[in-house]
Chains A and B, each alone.
Chain A
Amino acid sequence: MAINSILSVKDLTISFNTFEGEVNAVRGVTFDLKEGETLALVGESGSGKSVSTKAITQLLPQRHTTISKGEIWYHDHDLLKKSSKEMKKIRGKDIAMIFQDPMTSLNPTLTVGRQIAEPLIEHRGMTKQAAKVEAIALMRKVGIVAAEQRFHQYPHQFSGGMRQRVMIAIALACHPKILIADEPTTALDVTIQAQIIDLLKELQAEFATSTIFITHDLGVVANIADRVAVMYAGKIVEIGTVDEIFYNPKHPYTWGLLASMPTMKMDNDDLYTIPGSPPNLLNVPTGDPFSSRNMYALEIDFQEEPPMFKVSETHYAATWLLHPDAPSIEVPEEIKRRNEQFVSILAAKGADSDE
């Protein structure tokens, strides 16, 4: 498996100017997106996952945003250095996006068909007629029945799930190399969410699109991601393959996230919780911003931010617990259970590869 990075984000640092002061929304985010993979960015609201990805296509409001550091490499170009004119040629064509709220992300005054056809005309130089034919084909592909009729309808005549399908059709219209899906299923009902995820997976395979999938729902991540990056307070705190993150998490925050979700198998005990709320990014506390919610905090957590510790070739986590000098600690029950599962999965895989 040739693993080439198609996109690499390096030390991205973004802040917003507000009335209260400067909000440090993204504080040195680094990750690679490999060809054909789905990378999930997971984190609570305000963790900076959405902001990081908007920076890729320069979708952040310029007036209030300062990108003080960082590089975003795509095909030997630093996207941060692109002029807005150059960026236009990349947006929608090479890098497409799907957004959270399908209700407001479509223009209410334009027909759905026109909105799908637009990128075709713009980037693929199609005539109106050709674009219409292609758009209808796309609509069929994303599972919209009676596409010819629905081509002329307006977004308000579509249900939420159908709108998100339209958004997907728009995004995939030009066969983009990279798809950024920003919480595409959060606003949908579970059954619809399942359909959309299946659709995305299917199309992603067909178009060989690399995907950044932003969500706060670990269930969705488990379903769709190849690799997972967990974000907290504007930083990636843990990154690894989906199995590593779900079965062998190293960061106490990841533990908390996993343990606080009720699983179908759970009994009626109290849920595991992470106390408190995320820190205010106006004044990022010294040390690890997570330290004050961290039941496994060490003294050093309050003094210095931990660097990324390597767990495996693919797995890194930013917690002092991985420092050789750190004391060993008792992980939560749920994580223990998961670790056990990991061992068996590894064993199974090892068996697979042996054969």
Chain B
Amino acid sequence: MGKYIVKRILITIPVLLMVTVFCFIIVNLAPGDPTDLYISENATEQQIAQMRSSLGIDQPFPIQYFKWLLNLVQGNLGFSFASRLPVIDVLPTKIIATVTLMASTLLVSYLLAIPLGIISARKQNGFVDNLITGVSFLGISIPNFFFGLALIYIFALQLGVLPTGGMETLGGSGGLVDRMQHLILPTIVLAAFYCSNMIRYVRASMIDIFAENYMRTATAKGLKETLILWGHGVRNAWVPIITVISTDIPKMLGGAIVTEQIFQWPGIGQWMISAINARDYPVLMAINLVAAVSVLVFNLLADLLYAAVDPRIRY
């Protein structure tokens, strides 16, 4: 097991390097010099050159990359071109914001999706199943910017019961309830997709499981419905569920860009958009790194969890 983890991590390193190299190239390929943004209309050549050297972009790409890598090893992600703040100082707050939204979204999604998916599979092709399936298709099909704005319009502007955006009431005394209120709408918008997606997977795998011989055995034993369902059925659905979770989480960590935009959620996604617009390379690289690491980490975690939920899998 330990050996397996070490091996996996070692495999991960070249992948990570490749991701960062690709990302560095792509980011640097983008036309337009960051200095175009950070100088005023009447700036002189000399000022531009001075800024370029101050930002460290006066050197050739490979050297820039290796400098970045060297800094990374020392835990330094550079400073933001836009705000000149060390990226490492800003990153945690952004991650916390995104993770908060992600956690509430995924919690709500999965708590709803897993039972709904199971019910759907159990009543396969019945009215309830068609209803759940239909709504979940809707959830996948509705663009979240549209859904989000509609919710803002209804709940924030017309009814005035929920805030339009942000993470908390600024200058208010904050507090849990206030934060929860801010979480509701973006959570609904994101959960619409993640919940629907999960429902589909849970439903599909439960349908397969219901057809399994061991489920027949459990029935033939005369066990109670709930025990058959949870004790025998759902147990075997964890592997696909974990697979979905392990792709959902990095997807969200990579930024729920549109939703964060709409709800002014100060997370990774919003940061990324402004960083792209500002050609803020260090920030982009950091976000990319976080996203890539999360993909790889959750891949690994998923593999390890498989072994926990399925005794047949051993490393």
Contacts and interface: CB of A to CB of B under 8 A. Distances in A.
The answer to whether A and B touch in the complex, with CB atoms under 8 Å apart, is yes
Interface of A: 57, 59, 63, 87-93, 96-97, 99, 101, 104-110, 115, 118-119, 122-123, 154, 156, 167, 170
A91 B221 contact: yes
A104 B221 contact: no
Nearest to B232: A107
B22 to A, nearest CB: 39
A59 B214 contact: no
27 contacts: A57-B220, A59-B216, A59-B220, A63-B125, A88-B222, A88-B225, A90-B222, A91-B222, A92-B221, A92-B222, A93-B222, A104-B212, A104-B213, A104-B214, A105-B214, A105-B216, A106-B214, A106-B217, A108-B236, A108-B310, A109-B309, A110-B231, A118-B223, A122-B227, A154-B312, A156-B311, A170-B221
Q: What are the nearest 8 A-B pairs in CB distance?
A: A92-B222, A91-B222, A92-B221, A104-B213, A154-B311, A107-B214, A97-B220, A105-B213
B214 A108 contact: yes
A122 B224 contact: yes
Given A63-B125, A101-B213, A156-B311, A107 B221 contact: no
A107 B218 CA distance: 8
B20 interface: no
Given A91-B220, A97-B220, A108-B312, 11 more contacts: A57-B220, A59-B220, A87-B222, A88-B224, A91-B219, A105-B213, A105-B217, A107-B214, A109-B235, A110-B235, A118-B223
B104 to A, nearest CB: 30
A87 to B, nearest CB: 8
Contacts, number: 82
Given A107-B232, A109-B236, A109-B311, A119 B221 contact: yes
A154 B235 CA distance: 14
B312 A156 contact: yes
Interface string B220-253: 1111110100011001101000000000000000
A115 B214 CA distance: 10
Contact of A92 (B212, B214, B220, B311): B220
A59 B228 CA distance: 14
